[in-house]
């Protein structure tokens, strides 16, 4: 690992030197290889485009999931400019309308536009999902990295605590926390993030233990490298790929749990639009009379959670060398 990192450093320095020489001598590259040497940024951009092309070709389902995720980001960032109506505005003259040109997904009992509520709920789902994953899996990754590298009694006691966390159903744990702290966006994020700690801690710990036993770690120790250098330069970078897989899957879990809490009445408080609350209220009461009230948020939840799972599976296959040659999916 040290040799690989040092080689990259030397290559970067060489590219800089060659670039300066080329500029001073006005060398015009005549071959693609010379162009790559004298223009490392262009070569990097070409490599990124080639990687993206391979990703789309070899992982089409992952590419579709990534497209849905990007659409979610777009709606969460610019949804307030795209919604045809204010999600919380009531229009009793338009209540319980089936899908039509003015209201593509219909209206609810209070005349609120369902499409506007779906777009507004996307922003809430992205905010809660990403906040929960950053806090929960981030804390779990630090815990797992420390436990796996340190070992000893700290690792043993840490694993027993993680066993306790994993034995508690995450939805039940979130319900208890929200019921105790009160229903608010921040409390929901705290409740969901606690349920995501154990999985990321387990995965990162296993990766850290595997890396700790490699020969290049022993070589680094023999050269007098301190634990900070070993952890931050060798162990931590190699735990990022499995962490990204866990974090991506955790996004789908977090969005699903937020919808579940809202469905049970302890989730995102009004007037914030929520897909789960759309399902639990009028969507459930008027399922046979106005099916669009439950179909729209239900399909949104299924599509988004499935998209994050597809992206997570694609990342797993890309990062795992044993699965890189697997069939397209």
Give the per-residue pLDDT at 94. Answer: 84
Contact 192, 136 (CB under 8 A): yes
131 and 249 together in one domain: yes
95 within domain boundaries: no
Q: Is residue 94 part of a domain?
A: no
Model pLDDT, residue 200: 93
Task: Give 268's contacts (C-beta < 8 A, 6+ positions apart).
Answer: 124, 128, 183, 185, 188, 258, 261, 262, 274, 276, 277
Q: Check whether residue 245 and residue 190 sit in a common domain.
A: yes
The pLDDT score that the predictor gives to residue 304 is: 92
Q: Which residues of the chain have pLDDT under 50?
A: 1-32, 326-327
7 with 72, same domain: the answer is no
Judge contact between 235 and 145, C-beta under 8 A.
yes
- Please give the C-alpha separations between residue 71 and each of 5, 22, 25, 79, 300, in angstroms, as whole numbers: 36, 43, 47, 10, 12
Instruction: Indicate if 9 and 154 belong to the same structural domain.
Output: no
Question: Model confidence over 225-256: pLDDT tens digits?
Answer: 887 888 888 888 888 888 988 998 899 999 99
Residues 249/312, Cβ–Cβ less than 8 Å: yes
pLDDT for position 42: 65
Count of domains forming the chain? 2
The domain that contains 81 carries what CATH number? Answer: 1.10.3720.10
Are residue 63 and residue 50 in the same domain, yes or no? no
pLDDT of residue 156: 92
pLDDT at residue 39, rounded to an integer: 55
pLDDT at 299: 92
pLDDT (0 to 100) of residue 329: 52
Q: What pLDDT, on the 0 to 100 scale, is given for residue 16? A: 43
Which residue range forms the structural domain that includes residue 78?
59-88+104-319
Residue 320: predicted pLDDT = 64
Q: Round to whole Å and give the CA distance between 322 and 213.
A: 20
Q: Tell whether 177 is covered by a domain.
A: yes
Question: Does 276 lie in the same domain as 128?
Answer: yes
If asked whether residues 215 and 297 sit together in one domain, one would say yes
């Amino acid at each position: 690992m040290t040799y690989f990192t040092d080689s990259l450093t030397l290559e970067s320095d060489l590219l800089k030197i060659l670039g300066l020489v080329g500029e001073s001598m006005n060398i015009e590259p005549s071959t693609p290889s010379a162009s790559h040497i004298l223009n490392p940024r262009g070569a990097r951009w070409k490599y990124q485009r080639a990687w993206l092309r391979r990703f789309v070709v070899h992982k089409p389902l992952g590419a579709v999931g990534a497209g849905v995720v990007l659409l979610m980001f777009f709606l969460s960032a610019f949804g307030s400019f795209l919604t045809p109506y204010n999600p919380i505005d009531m229009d009793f003259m338009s209540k319980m309308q089936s899908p039509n040109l003015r209201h593509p997904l219909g209206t609810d009992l209070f005349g609120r536009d369902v499409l506007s509520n779906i777009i507004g709920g996307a922003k809430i789902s992205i905010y809660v999902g990403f906040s929960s994953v950053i806090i929960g899996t981030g804390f779990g990754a630090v815990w797992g990295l420390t436990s796996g590298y340190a070992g000893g009694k700290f690792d043993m006691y840490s694993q027993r605590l993680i066993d306790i966390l994993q034995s508690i159903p995450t939805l039940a744990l979130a319900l208890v926390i929200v019921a105790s702290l009160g229903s608010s966006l921040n409390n929901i994020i705290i409740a969901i993030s606690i349920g995501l700690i154990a999985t990321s801690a387990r995965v990162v710990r296993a990766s850290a233990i595997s890396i700790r036993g490699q020969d290049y770690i022993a070589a680094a120790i023999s050269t007098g490298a301190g634990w900070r250098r070993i952890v931050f330069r060798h162990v931590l970078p190699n735990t990022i790929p499995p962490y990204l897989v866990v974090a991506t899957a955790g996004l789908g879990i977090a969005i699903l749990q937020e919808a579940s809490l809202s469905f049970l009445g302890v989730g995102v408080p009004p007037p914030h639009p929520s897909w789960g609350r759309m399902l639990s209220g009028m969507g459930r009461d008027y399922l046979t009379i106005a099916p669009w009230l439950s179909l729209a948020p239900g399909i949104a939840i299924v599509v988004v959670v499935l998209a994050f799972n597809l992206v997570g599976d694609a990342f797993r296959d890309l990062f795992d060398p044993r699965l890189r040659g697997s069939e397209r999916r």
